[in-house]
Amino acid sequence: MKTVNLEAALANRPFRPFQIRIDGEVIVVRHPEQVFLAEKKTTVIIDVGDRIHIMDAAQISKVALLRRPPAESADKDH
């Protein structure tokens, strides 16, 4: 995986949550502040369980955007 793909997912505005796959594990990134890139090589991710994952960006096999939640109906009262 190229770091540019991870950077692109982090730069999306509005931000869209995504998953990172590494060694069969899936890490969900819900906020761009969860990910730190050091020298475009080392990636640090803090997941929702406050676990810290430190990896080389080359170990990431896939970055997949999560589906957006369906828009709520404006006709809730009807």
- Comparison of pLDDT for 70 and 1, the residue scoring more: 1
**Tokens of residue 2, six digits:** 């190229």
pLDDT of residue 59: 86
| Domains delineated in the chain | 3-65 (2.30.30.100)
pLDDT tens, residue by residue, 22-71: 888 899 999 999 999 887 678 888 888 888 989 888 888 888 888 876 55
- Residues contacting 10, CB < 8 A, separation 6+: 29, 32, 35
Instruction: Give 5's pLDDT tier (boundaries 50, 70, 90).
Output: confident
Examine the pLDDT at 18 and tell me if it is beyond 60.
yes
Q: Which three-class secondary structure state does DSSP give residue 73?
A: coil
